[in-house]
């Protein structure tokens, strides 16, 4: 396979050595590195344009507002949102999902209603629903997966009963890399009148996402998984649904008029954005969108798909490897066990050779339980990875085997 | 041997690997008078210590659980270290060992020789792994205090 990766040089963090070895970063599913363009955009804003947004009449406030709102426009276009007012800026996927649970579901849920998720979900697509179910007397129901890490579609469809008020499902599993067949799932939910929230944290960085084509109702994602700063994220929602939802947090910027008797809330999307937002981070996220758009998400998807296949092939050839998660369609991620070496021992030994992977439960304890494992080792790819990274991973695994032989 | 392999073997010394592969006193004690659970939420290491304390002396000690090589070896070494000691002695061991593991220092006033436990010294270079090594010792303290709630490393 073609070993050149011209994009890699755009990411300054990747040119360093760790423990005397070139950094091999295979932990983008936890957090992706940032290109120079993002770092520069944040620094330029901090240096020259910083002021609060939506408030002042002075020049810096105008500039900050233009940059911040410009990022919103870029993000809206990036996922093909119907309008910018459907694009709520949040601190990340976690806040986006909590917003929907508390603002959309909580007023709606009655005793005996159900919220449907799957066994694949990240804790941030489990716990917010548990909380709202406790608050309302609704029930959280969970669609099973098979040993490959695919959601059992028949079971999922059977669970879509009359009392289900929300289906919340990941686009791509962070623990197993499973790409869910969202088209089929959302179509089925639509036919049954069930709103769908997609946790897109692991989808957006790796493939083109078009919320209009997906036909979901909410799509949540994080900035730092898509090469932007931490503490940034998006909730996209259908305008008609967002309109009917009450504010989630109270404070400045989400109001039109406040008196002690009554407050008139601001229009969408500002109704959900109380307080001074993460201005610099969001501007950085806007730069990340520009960076990704310049390359093209389809190209990134093709590069990563080929690299993922190469990783699967190379890992499978290592004696003693057990691939955890072999779903029909996978993106970015491969979880695995090596002999009976505990994932944390593996993580330390690999780090020693400059190879950064994630080890543990990946904030998806139920997935690990379904495989009877306390955790796994997980290698995950970003656009900047190349076959050499996979080769270094495999060499480091061989060394771990020697130590534990 | 390359330099990094040598350094790695400073953490995964033969004694550690041996105790991780074949942990000593790895069983449940049905007649335990004291017990405690240790959980390291970061790693998912989980172990259960069982003690028989008779007239202020630890007459039997064992553990069960699953976790990384460091946590298992440390627990195994712990059972060898504190068996037949008085409760006060065992508590002093906990203090000496956890201090050694977290700071790399040894107390001048230490009442016992670290002996084999020096094999765990390598972890002081790995901040994220210190908790794996101290887990069993936190559990021992909890068992002797009979605190009830599981000991955690957080």
Q: How far is A349 from chain B (nearest CA, A)?
A: 7
More confident residue, A365 or A290: A290
Q: Which residues of B touch A392 (CB under 8 A)?
A: none
8 Å CB contact between B111 and B89 = yes
Q: How far is B131 from chain A (nearest CA, A)?
A: 12
Q: Which stretch of A25-29, A284-288, B128-132 has the lowest confidence by average pLDDT?
A: B128-132
CA A340 to centroid of chain Cα atoms: 30
A183-190 mean pLDDT: 98
Q: Which two tokens stand for residue B54?
A: 């008779």
Strand partners, B51: B34, B61
Q: Which stretch of A56-70, A188-202, B97-111 has the lowest confidence by average pLDDT?
A: B97-111
* pLDDT tens digits for range B70-126: 999 999 999 999 999 999 999 999 999 999 999 888 766 666 778 899 899 999 888
> In sequence order, what E strands does A144-214 have?
164-170, 196-199
Among the partner-chain residues A341, A348, A374, the one whose CB lies closest to the CB of B126 is A348
Contact A360 B46 (CB under 8 A): no
Question: Beta strand B45-54 with B34-40: parallel, antiparallel or unpaired?
Answer: antiparallel
Best of B1, B3, B4 to disrupt the A interface by mutation (most A CBs within 10 Å)?
B4
Question: Beta strand A355-356 with A24-25: parallel, antiparallel or unpaired?
Answer: parallel
Among the partner-chain residues A353, A368, A402, the one whose CB lies closest to the CB of B4 is A353
Burial of A312 (0-12, 13-18, 19+ CB in 10 A): middle
A368-388 mean pLDDT: 94
Residue A325 has pLDDT above 70, yes or no: yes
Q: What is the mean pLDDT of chain A?
A: 96
Band of pLDDT at residue B4, cut at 50, 70 and 90: low
- Predicted confidence at residue A55, as pLDDT, reads 82
- Predicted confidence at residue B153, as pLDDT, reads 61
8 Å CB contact between A173 and A376 = no
Three-class DSSP category at A142: strand
Question: Beta strand A21-22 with A17-18: parallel, antiparallel or unpaired?
Answer: antiparallel
Contact B3 A344 (CB under 8 A): no
Contact A375 B43 (CB under 8 A): yes
- Predicted confidence at residue A210, as pLDDT, reads 98
8 Å CB contact between B79 and B58 = no
Q: Which residues of B touch A27 (CB under 8 A)?
A: none
Q: Which residues of A touch B66 (CB under 8 A)?
A: 374
8 Å CB contact between B50 and B63 = yes
Residue B148 has pLDDT above 70, yes or no: no
Rounded to a whole number of angstroms, the distance between the first and last alpha carbons of chain A is 32
- Predicted confidence at residue B110, as pLDDT, reads 64
Among the partner-chain residues A341, A374, A404, the one whose CB lies closest to the CB of B66 is A374
Contact A345 B12 (CB under 8 A): yes
Among the partner-chain residues B3, B9, B11, the one whose CB lies closest to the CB of A348 is B11
Q: Which residues of B touch A348 (CB under 8 A)?
A: 11, 126, 128-129
Q: Which residues of A touch B67 (CB under 8 A)?
A: 342, 344, 374
**For A198, what's the count of Cα atoms within 13 Å in the CB-facing half-sphere?**
27
Distance CA(A329)–CA(A203), nearest Å, equals: 13
Q: How far is B51 from chain A (nearest CA, A)?
A: 26
Q: Which two tokens stand for residue A293?
A: 């758009």
8 Å CB contact between A123 and A364 = yes
Among the partner-chain residues A352, A375, A402, the one whose CB lies closest to the CB of B4 is A352
Among the partner-chain residues A19, A21, A403, the one whose CB lies closest to the CB of B12 is A403
* pLDDT tens digits for range B18-48: 999 999 999 999 999 999 999 987 777 899 9
Contact A375 B68 (CB under 8 A): no
Q: Which residues of B touch A343 (CB under 8 A)?
A: 68
Q: Which residues of A touch B (CB under 8 A)?
A: 19-21, 341-345, 348-349, 352-353, 359-361, 368, 374-375, 399, 402-404
Residue A358 has pLDDT above 80, yes or no: yes
Q: How far is B134 from chain A (nearest CA, A)?
A: 15
Q: Which residues of A touch B68 (CB under 8 A)?
A: 342-345
Contact A374 B44 (CB under 8 A): yes
**DSSP secondary structure of B65-111:** EE--HHHHHHHHHHHHHHTT-BHHHHHHHHHHHHHHHHHS---TT-S
Q: What percent of chain B has pLDDT over 70?
A: 88
Band of pLDDT at residue A88, cut at 50, 70 and 90: very high
Q: How far is A399 from chain B (nearest CA, A)?
A: 8
- Predicted confidence at residue B125, as pLDDT, reads 87
Q: Which two tokens stand for residue A330?
A: 């996978």
Q: Which residues of A touch B14 (CB under 8 A)?
A: none
Distance CA(B107)–CA(B101), nearest Å, equals: 12
Best of B10, B16, B68 to disrupt the A interface by mutation (most A CBs within 10 Å)?
B68
Comparing CA positions, the residue from B18, B48, B50, B21 lying closest to residue B34 is B50
Residue A63 has pLDDT above 60, yes or no: yes
Comparing CA positions, the residue from B89, B107, B97, B106 lying closest to residue B133 is B97
- Predicted confidence at residue B150, as pLDDT, reads 61
Residue A276 has pLDDT above 70, yes or no: yes
Distance CA(B35)–CA(B45), nearest Å, equals: 17
Three-class DSSP category at A85: helix
Rg (alpha carbons) of chain A, rounded to whole number:
22
Contact A375 B42 (CB under 8 A): no
Q: What percent of chain A has pLDDT over 70?
A: 99
Residue A31 has pLDDT above 60, yes or no: yes
User: To which residue do tokens 């139920």 refer?
Assistant: A366
Band of pLDDT at residue A115, cut at 50, 70 and 90: very high
Give the active site residues of A.
363
- Predicted confidence at residue B152, as pLDDT, reads 63
Comparing CA positions, the residue from B82, B112, B77 lying closest to residue B96 is B112
Residue of chain B minimizing CA distance to A360: B43
Band of pLDDT at residue B3, cut at 50, 70 and 90: low
Distance CA(A207)–CA(A382), nearest Å, equals: 11
């Amino acid at each position: 396979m073609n070993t050149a990766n011209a994009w890699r040089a755009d990411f300054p963090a990747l040119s360093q050595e760790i423990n005397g070895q070139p950094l091999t970063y295979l932990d983008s599913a936890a957090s992706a590195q940032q290109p120079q363009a993002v770092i520069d955009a944040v620094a330029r804003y901090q240096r020259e344009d910083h002021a609060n947004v939506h408030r002042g009449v002075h020049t810096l406030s105008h500039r900050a507002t233009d940059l911040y709102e410009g990022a919103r426009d870029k993000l809206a276009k990036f996922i093909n949102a119907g309008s910018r007012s459907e694009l709520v800026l949040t601190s990340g996927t976690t806040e986006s999902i909590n917003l929907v649970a508390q603002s959309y579901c909580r007023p709606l849920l009655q005793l005996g209603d159900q919220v449907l998720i799957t066994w694949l979900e990240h804790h941030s697509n489990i716990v917010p629903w548990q909380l709202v179910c406790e608050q309302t007397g609704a029930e959280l129901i969970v669609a099973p997966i098979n040993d490959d890490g695919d959601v059992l579609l028949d079971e999922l469809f059977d669970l879509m009963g009359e009392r289900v008020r929300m289906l919340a499902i990941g686009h791509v599993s962070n623990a197993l890399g499973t790409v869910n067949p969202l088209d089929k799932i959302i179509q089925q939910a639509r036919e049954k009148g069930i709103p769908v929230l997609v946790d897109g944290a692991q989808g957006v960085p790796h493939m083109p996402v078009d919320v209009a084509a997906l036909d979901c109702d909410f799509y949540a994602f994080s900035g730092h998984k898509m090469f932007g700063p931490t503490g940034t994220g998006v909730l996209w929602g259908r305008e008609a649904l967002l309109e009917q939802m009450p504010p989630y947090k109270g404070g400045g910027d989400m109001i039109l008029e406040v008196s002690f008797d009554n407050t008139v809330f601001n229009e969408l999307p500002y109704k959900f954005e109380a307080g001074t937002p993460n201005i610099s981070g969001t501007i950085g996220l806007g730069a990340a969108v520009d960076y990704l758009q310049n390359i093209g998400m389809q190209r990134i998807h093709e590069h990563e798909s080929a690299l993922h296949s190469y990783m699967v092939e190379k890992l499978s050839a290592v004696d003693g490897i057990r691939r955890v998660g072999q779903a029909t369609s996978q993106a970015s991620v491969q979880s695995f066990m090596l002999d009976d070496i505990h994932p944390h021992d593996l993580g330390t030994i690999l780090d020693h050779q400059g190879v950064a992977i994630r080890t543990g439960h990946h904030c998806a304890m139920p997935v690990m339980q379904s495989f009877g494992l306390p955790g796994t080792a997980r290698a995950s790819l970003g656009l900047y990875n190349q076959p050499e990274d996979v080769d270094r991973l495999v060499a480091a695994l061989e060394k771990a085997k020697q130590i534990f032989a | 041997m390359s330099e990094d392999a040598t350094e790695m073997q400073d953490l995964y010394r033969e004694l550690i690997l041996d105790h991780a592969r074949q942990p000593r006193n790895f069983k449940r004690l049905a007649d335990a008078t004291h017990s405690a659970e240790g959980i390291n939420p970061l790693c998912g290491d989980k172990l259960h210590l069982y003690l028989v304390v008779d007239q202020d002396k630890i007459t039997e000690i064992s553990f069960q659980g699953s976790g990384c090589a460091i946590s298992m070896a440390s627990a195994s070494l712990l059972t060898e270290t504190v068996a037949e000691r008085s409760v006060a002695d065992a508590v002093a061991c906990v203090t000496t060992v956890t201090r050694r593991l977290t700071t790399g220092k040894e107390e001048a006033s230490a009442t016992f020789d670290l002996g084999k436990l020096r094999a765990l010294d390598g972890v002081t270079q790995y901040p994220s792994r210190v908790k794996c090594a101290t887990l069993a010792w936190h559990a021992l303290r909890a068992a002797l205090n009979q605190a009830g709630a599981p000991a955690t490393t957080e």
